[in-house]
Amino acid sequence: MKRILFYSEGWGLGGIETFIMNTIRELPREQFQCDVFCTHDWSDAHDEELTSLGVHRYCVFSGHKPNQLKRLLSSSQEFRKLLRKKRYDVVHICTMNGMGFLYSQIARQEHVPTRVVHSHSSAFGEGHQMVKRVFHNLGKCLWKKSATVLIACSEDAGKYLFDNTDFILLPNGIDTRKYRFSLRQRESLRNKLSIPSNALLFGAVGRIADVKQPFFQVDLLCSLRAAGIPAYLLLVGDGPLSGKVSNYAKEKKVADFLRLPGATSDPSSDYSALDVFTMPSLFEGLPMVLIEAASSGLPCLISKNVPEIPFPLEQVHRVEGSNADFWTHEIREVERKTKLENRAEAFREVQNAGYAVSTMAQTLVDIYQH
């Protein structure tokens, strides 16, 4: 049996966590024993399931997030201690910048034979851009060669982290059937959120942070309401801007039409409730939520900053314009063309396009075994 340690700097309800959970669920348990290591966490929603799967999650800073230097120093020390204490055959480092290579370097020094570095983003996160750029380039320069396998969720994510070095393109796989459209779930959640049956409900699932442009989503709500459309906005997730977004909606006098239910470990009913999925992000890797939304038959509007997905999907539409009026027009168009009765079978298209979790898991099994 091979022992695998997954690394993620943060742990909560984000895309990397979803990828790791999907992978652990799918790997043959008679062949692999998995653990998870994170620097800090902001949710324990997956812990009960991890325990049931025999997975131990190690966290350096539980419930809080110190400054970047303290995180880096403490996390790297604890990571090394764990590798010495429990001998792993594989480390799978899920990262959004070049500092992920530090952990593959530590794994090399501790004689871990298979060291996977997996790029999950195509740009830096919000805030401290100069500092992040320095650390990103430093990590690539010093420790890039320590990895034995390079993986990226999209072409853009691969070029961002690996430059011109060859890498394996591995689209994020999901359980497409889990997100199949359900009329029962749709009606139940819309009733719970007090959304009228004739309303146009648009929105997104993910962290409420600058990179996701939540204030622009509120601007879209204003634009739709001004055009006489009975629109409502649903933003599922937590984040540093939740309170500010709520206040912004009050300033714009659309607070009654905004729903902020918080984060969830299972957004399947949210996708069914929505009419249009909007992603005006400043950057992304290959967003898991986009594939999940498409599996629910949701028409998805993405900004030009979201990379091309490896396998095109009929439900995903790129919006080249950046102003609210342009997006408003696109929202109305895709909503008008989408029939509820056709949404239930969309998961098959997504599955057949190559986004099935079983396809992804088999690729990883081959990597881990060899």
pLDDT band at 311 (very low <50, low <70, confident <90, very high): confident
pTM of the complete model: 0.85
With a cut of 90, say whether residue 203 has pLDDT above it: yes
Our CA dihedral for 248, 249, 255, 259, rounded to 10 degrees, sits at: -100
The CATH number of 2-170 is 3.40.50.2000
Phi, psi of 3 (to 5 degrees): -105, 130
DSSP string, 153-193: SSHHHHHHHHTTS--EE-PPPB-GGGG---HHHHHHHHHHT
Per-residue pLDDT, 126: 59
286 vs 52: which has the higher pLDDT: 52
Name the DSSP class of 251.
H
pLDDT tens column, 105-147: 999 999 999 999 999 988 866 555 677 788 888 889 899 999 9
Per-residue pLDDT, 68: 84
2-170 shares its CATH topology with 176-354:
yes
User: Can you tell me the mean pLDDT for 288-295?
Assistant: 94
> Mean pLDDT in the chain?
94
| In contact, 268 and 293? CB cutoff 8 Å | no
Provide the 3-class DSSP secondary structure of residue 56. strand
Per-residue pLDDT, 310: 76
Domain ranges, ordered by start, for the chain: 2-170, 176-354
pLDDT band at 320 (very low <50, low <70, confident <90, very high): confident
pLDDT band at 190 (very low <50, low <70, confident <90, very high): very high
| In contact, 152 and 305? CB cutoff 8 Å | no
Q: Which residue has the tokens 């442009």?
A: 213
CA neighbours within 13 Å on the CB side: how many for 316?
25
Per-residue pLDDT, 232: 99
User: Can you tell me the mean pLDDT for 54-65?
Assistant: 95
Compute the radius of gyration of the chain from its Cα atoms. Answer: 21
Alpha carbon distance 142, 170 (integer Å): 25
Phi, psi of 275 (to 5 degrees): -105, -30
> Which residues on neighbouring strands pair with residue 41, listed in sequence order?
11, 62
Alpha carbon distance 58, 78 (integer Å): 9
Provide the 3-class DSSP secondary structure of residue 119. strand
The CATH number of 176-354 is 3.40.50.2000
Per-residue pLDDT, 337: 95
Q: Which residue has the tokens 């320069």?
A: 141
| Structure-block tokens of residue 301 | 């509007």
Per-residue pLDDT, 135: 83
Kindly give the interhelix angle for 214-226 and 324-337, rounded to the nearest 10 degrees. Answer: 70
